[in-house]
Every structure is written in C-alpha cells, then in structure tokens.
Copies of this chain bind each other. A is one copy, B any other.
Amino acid sequence: MAVGLGPLPVLHPVPGFELGIASAGIKRPGRKDIVLMRCAEGSTVTGVFTLNAFCAAPVILAKKRVLGSPRYLLTNTGNANAGTGEPGLAAAERTCARLAELAGVEQVQVLPFSTGVIGEPLPVEKIEAALPAALADLNENNWAAAASGIMTTDTLPKGASRQFQHEGVTVTVTGISKGAGMIKPNMATMLGYIATDAKVSQGVLQDLLRDAANKSFNRITIDGDTSTNDCCMLIATGQSSLPEITQASGTLFTALKQAVMEVSMELAQAIVRDGEGATKFVTVQVNGGATHQECLDVGYAVAHSPLIKTALFASDPNWGRILAAVGRAGVSQLDVSLIDVYLGDVCIASRGGRSPSYTEEQGSAVMAQAEIQIRIELGRGTASETIWTTDLSHEYVKINAEYRT
C-alpha cells in the first residue's frame, strides 16, 4: 500500500564504503538477514540514536563505540535483541568480537544493529556462521541488495542518492533506510545508513547529521510510538580528493549539507509512504508560530490525532477535528481568531470557524488525493515546522492486532 513510493532509484557507490549481504537464517532459512558495512580506514562515523530509555542492547553498544574509530557496522534483521537485559548485551558483544577477529580489527571498532522480534535471545551462533559470507560479499556496488537486506515488513526497499561537483570532483551521498515493520511481538524500528566520500571532521559531521535528522527522521510519525532500536548513521569515508571539511561553512560544506539533507528527507519520507496500513501521505505544516516548539506541539497534536487520521483514511474533510486538535495542543494564550487552516490550497477555517468561502466539495476534492497537505497558520510569529505522517486505516489495526491469525 506504499503511497507514491516506486522502485529504488540509482544508488551511486560511495568510494571507501562497502556492503556485504549474507543469510544467517534467523527467522527463515535462506533469508538475507545480515548486512555488513565496511568503512575505509580513516572514515569519520557519527550516529543519532533512539531516546527511548528502554533502548536495545545493540543501541547501547553502538552509542558507546561510535565515539571510537568504527570500521564495521553489523546489522541483523529477525531479532531486535531488545528487552533482553545483560545476556542481550553479552550476545551483541560476542557477534562483534567474532567479526573483529575475522576482519583483523579491534572489537570496539564493530557497531551492532538489530531489528525484529523483541524479547528473544539473539541467535549468536547463526550470526557468527554467516559472517565469513558477509565479509566475502563486501562490495561498493551492493547498496540495493543492502536496502532489501535490512527490510523487515517494509513492502519496498528504500534508498536515495545524490551527487554534486566541487572544483571538478564528484562527491557522492547515498543512503538506505528501513521503517515501521511489525514482527511478532515487536515494535516499529527505523534504521538509516548514509555514506559520503567527502572528508569531514567528527564535530562537523555530527552536527550535520543532527540537523539533517531533526528536519527529516525526527519529523515523521506513523503512530507516535518510538522504537527501542532506532538509529541513523552518517559515515564520511574521506576517499574524495577534496580537502577535509572542518567548519560548517563554505561552498563545499553547503553543497554537502544540501545533499545529506535531501537524502535524509527522501529516506524519511519513504518510511512514511510505506507506513503500516498507509493509504495517504500527509504533510502537516505549521506556520506563524511564536516558537518552533509550539509549531511542533500543534503539528504533532494534528499528526497523532486518531480522529483526524481516520478522517484522512475516509477522505472526509472533517475540519472540526483539525480545529479541535489545534485547540488542545497546549499552546498558551492561543487566539483562535487569528488562525487559518488550509487543506491543500483550500482555506477550510478562518477566525475560529468554518471559512465563509469553504464548500464541502472543495474539501472532498483535496481529501480524495493520496498526498495531502494540512497547513495551519497560527498568526503569532515567524516560526515554522513541517511533519509528515499517514492516515489510520483498517489495515493498521489489522497489521498490529491480527498478525497471529
């Protein structure tokens, strides 16, 4: 049911970044469930991780080790190694240690990532047995296979790629992601990996990833639940012949930032488009806020409202539900007489009530589309925020309630 999501675009290889896929048979024999990534020596590696206090064992390890000199990212699907306590941590360490041994690096240079069933022991032996094949498969041209390899119940693989020229040198930014999938008994996990051959200092790369994630991965919501396993990694291999970027300024930095932003946004939106049971791709834009936070409060109140989400599913221009969500968002001293609400280009509400010019036909025409924008003008200031989400369909309930039957 993915909304407006087509086949993978061309994913340009990133010099110094190789990917290898193998099968450990964690859930099913023969399934490609191991994705290994190798960063060239001297790469800069950064990550952003779930804020969930119950974060999974691999997240605890990856967060700690990203500050060292990572060389390998080891991802398995089929088992999230979450809610597994101390034994889960030991299991993640064992797989990393085995890979380090085979690859001739330090154990702390391997970062683990897991997605899948929670609360079940990680099948360490199966993963260890698949590592030689994953290492043998390492190749710069494996992005598309890796995009499929990290999928759980995603219906389509997700990838994005950009190239730009700087002083005659081509710089590449390529990434893959996986989104909200549900495996018994499980929760949604988002994983993202983006690599570039630019050379970037640790501090600049970390800020760049944080900015990009804040405008993309941190602005999407399917159902408001945050996974225990969410991670997004940004790797700069430094294989390009251009000089190192050590400051967040200059034309090279600006071009790189633009490319990373675009790749992040495309990957994040792909996750929403392939959201569980999604039949609509919804952009909630809040303008005219006194602060960014109040724009986000209003945006999330709208994006998380089950009443609005079911109306979107039904293609019903139920503007009253949107006003009610704006009104309960907790914005202090909200003057409803200043607020305008638009569905697409149609003004549905102004000055606290239905817009005089609005007709049900206009609203229905917008709601019938697969991609819908809800725009809220608060009239309080200059801050803006945009959030992407989906509708709430029968299929969502079915996927999340009935997977046993």
- A residues bordering B, Cβ < 8 Å? 51-55, 82-85, 88, 118-119, 185-188, 223-228, 304-307, 310-311, 313-314, 316-321, 323-328, 331, 334, 336, 349, 351-354, 392-394, 396-398, 400-402, 404
Tell me whether A187 and B320 are in contact (CB under 8 A): yes
Report chain B residues within 8 Å CB of A311.
185, 400-401
Given contacts A53-B331, A228-B324, A321-B185, contact A396 B306 (CB under 8 A): yes
Min CB distance, A54 to chain B, in Å? 3
Contacts of A223 in B (CB 8 A): 305-307
Number of copies: 2
Query: Is B119 a contact of A314 with CB atoms below 8 Å?
Result: no
Partner pick for A119 among B119, B313, B354, CB 8 A cutoff: B354
Instruction: For A400, give its contact among B84, B307, B336, B404 (CB under 8 Å).
Output: B307
**Would you give the shortest CB distance from A2 to chain B, in whole angstroms?**
19
Instruction: Say whether A320 contacts B185, CB under 8 Å.
Output: yes
Residues of chain B with a CB closer than 8 A to A351's CB: 85
**What B residues does A321 contact at CB under 8 A?**
185, 187, 225
Report the separation of the CA atoms of residues A267 and B133 in the bound assembly, to the nearest whole angstrom.
63
Task: Decide: B83 and A316 in contact? CB cutoff 8 A.
Answer: no
Q: Are the CB atoms of B353 and A316 closer together than 8 Å? A: no
Residue of chain B at shortest CB distance from A400: B310
Q: Determine how close the nearest CB of chain B comes to the CB of A297; give it in whole angstroms.
A: 12
Nearest chain B CB to A41 CB, angstrom units: 36
The CA-CA distance from A15 to B220 in the complex, in Å, is 56
The reply to whether B187 and A224 form a contact with Cβ atoms under 8 Å apart is no
Residues of B within 8 A of A393 (CB): 397, 401
| A354 and B88 alpha carbons, distance in the complex (Å) | 12
- Distance in Å: Cβ of A332 to nearest Cβ of chain B: 10
Query: In the complex, which residues of chain B have a beta carbon less than 8 angstroms from the beta carbon of A82?
Result: 320
CB distance from A89 to the nearest CB of B (A): 11
User: 20 pairs across A/B with beta carbons < 8 Å?
Assistant: A51-B328, A52-B327, A54-B326, A83-B319, A83-B349, A83-B353, A85-B353, A185-B311, A185-B318, A224-B304, A224-B305, A225-B328, A228-B320, A310-B396, A310-B397, A311-B400, A311-B401, A316-B401, A316-B404, A394-B401
Q: Knowing A186-B320, A326-B53 touch, does A397 contact B400 (C-beta < 8 A)?
A: no
Contacts of A318 in B (CB 8 A): 185
Given the interface pairs A397-B313, A401-B310, the reply to whether A324 lies near B354 with Cβ below 8 Å is no
10 A-B pairs with the lowest CB-CB distances in the bound complex, closest first? A54-B327, A85-B353, A310-B400, A314-B401, A52-B327, A53-B327, A118-B320, A226-B328, A53-B334, A310-B401
* Residue from A54, A84, A223, A353 having most chain B Cβ neighbours under 10 A: A54
Enumerate chain B residues within 8 angstroms of A119, measured Cβ to Cβ.
Answer: 319-320, 353-354
**A324 touching B54 in the complex, CB below 8 Å, given contacts A83-B353, A400-B311:** yes
Which residues of B sit under 8 angstroms from A85, Cβ to Cβ? Answer: 351-353
Q: Looking at the assembled complex, report how far the CB atom of A392 sits from the nearest CB atom of chain B, in whole angstroms.
A: 6
Closest to A120 in B: B354
**In the bound complex, CA of A118 to CA of B401 (Å):** 32
CB distance from A39 to the nearest CB of B (A): 30
